[in-house]
């Protein structure tokens, strides 16, 4: 879980900093079953133990951080506790948001869950709030809903996208797939340009209004279930 090497944990334990049910553990070799309630029972150096795997969380991704080691710039993982980079199994983002996209990003160490969420079968909707450079023309909704829009360089048309205008240069779009730079390329195909892009909903899970940019929250079973609400799986 990233707390340290065996040696470091032995030192922490000997220093009395590992508590189980309120009492310091003395023997770092003691085998303790990893039960779901362990995070409530164990404290490390004064703090509740991190949740054991499987760990799933939401992050309010701010602008300017990347989801991929291949892109330049600070990574989203840098917004999480430092030791989480040493967790095994590792945390991964569930899909990606562009560096200049903000909003709801899920991360998990549960590979099966990750694949269930991104699988086309699950049909998980992703909702984006868009600000555009030029006023809407009025035909965007029909074109996006048609299921015939082709993005440059692709061979298959996009699945229908729900579209709602919110004034002259603002819109909300809901996608059921996630092609590379999809929202930006959809509007580029219509001669417009996305200025700001923010994801505020994945499946039936909303980005909480009290979760500040850069902050994260661990998800419980009900919130994970909400991701699949309204889908087909």
Q: Which residues are catalytic?
A: 98
Give the pair of three-digit tokens for residue 85. 């980079």
Q: Where are the alpha helices (DSSP H) in the chain?
A: 6-14, 38-41, 111-118, 140-145, 182-189, 221-227
Nearest-approach distance from CB 9 to ligand URA, in angstroms: 39
Name which of 129 and 184 has its Cβ closer to ligand URA: 184
Closest approach, Cβ 185 to ligand URA, in A, equals 6
The smaller minimum CB distance to ligand URA, of residues 51 and 103, is found at: 103
Q: Between 57 and 104, whose beta carbon lies closer to ligand URA?
A: 104
Hey, which residues does 131 pair with through a beta bridge?
170, 196
> For residues 185 and 151, is the Cβ–Cβ distance under 8 A?
yes
Ramachandran assignment for 177, one of left (phi > 0), alpha (psi -120 to 50 degrees), beta (any other)? beta
CB-wise, 55 or 65, nearer to ligand URA? 65
**Shortest spacing between CB 176 and ligand URA, in angstroms:** 12
Q: Which residue is nearest to ligand URA (CB)?
A: 101
Name the burial class of residue 199, with classes exposed (0-12), middle (13-18) and buried (19+) by CB atoms within 10 angstroms of its CB.
Answer: buried
Q: What's the closest the beta carbon of residue 149 comes to ligand URA, in angstroms?
A: 14
Whole-number minimum distance, CB 98 to ligand URA, in Å? 4
Residues 6+ apart with CB under 8 A from 206: 104, 200
How far apart CA 173 and CA 125 sit, in angstroms, is 10
Interface with ligand URA by CB under 6 A: which residues? 97-98, 101, 181-184, 197
Residue closer to ligand URA by CB (options 55, 183) is: 183
Q: Residue 202: name the closest of 118, 101, 126 by CA.
A: 126
Integer-rounded Cα Rg, in Å, for the chain is 21
């Amino acid at each position: 879980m990233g707390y340290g090497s065996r040696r470091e944990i032995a030192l922490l334990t000997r220093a009395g900093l590992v508590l189980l049910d309120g009492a310091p553990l003395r023997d770092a070799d003691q085998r303790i079953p990893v039960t779901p309630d362990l995070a409530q029972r164990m404290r490390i150096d004064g703090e509740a133990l991190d949740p054991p795997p499987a760990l799933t969380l939401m992050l309010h991704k701010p602008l300017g951080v990347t989801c991929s080691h291949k892109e330049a710039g600070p990574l989203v993982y840098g917004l999480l506790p430092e030791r989480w980079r040493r967790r095994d199994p590792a945390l991964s983002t569930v899909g990606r948001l562009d560096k200049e996209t903000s909003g709801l990003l899920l991360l998990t160490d549960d590979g099966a869950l990750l694949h269930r969420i991104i699988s086309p079968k699950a049909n998980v909707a992703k909702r984006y709030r868009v600000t555009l450079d030029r006023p809407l023309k009025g035909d965007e909704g029909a074109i996006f809903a048609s299921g015939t829009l082709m993005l440059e360089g692709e061979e298959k048309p996009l699945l229908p996208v729900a579209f709602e205008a919110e004034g002259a240069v603002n819109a909300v779009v809901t996608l059921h797939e996630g092609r590379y730079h999809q929202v930006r390329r959809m509007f580029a195909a219509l001669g417009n340009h996305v200025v700001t892009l923010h994801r505020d909903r994945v499946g039936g899970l909303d980005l909480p209004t009290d979760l500040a940019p850069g902050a994260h929250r661990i998800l419980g079973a009900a919130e994970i279930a909400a991701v699949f609400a309204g889908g087909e799986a």
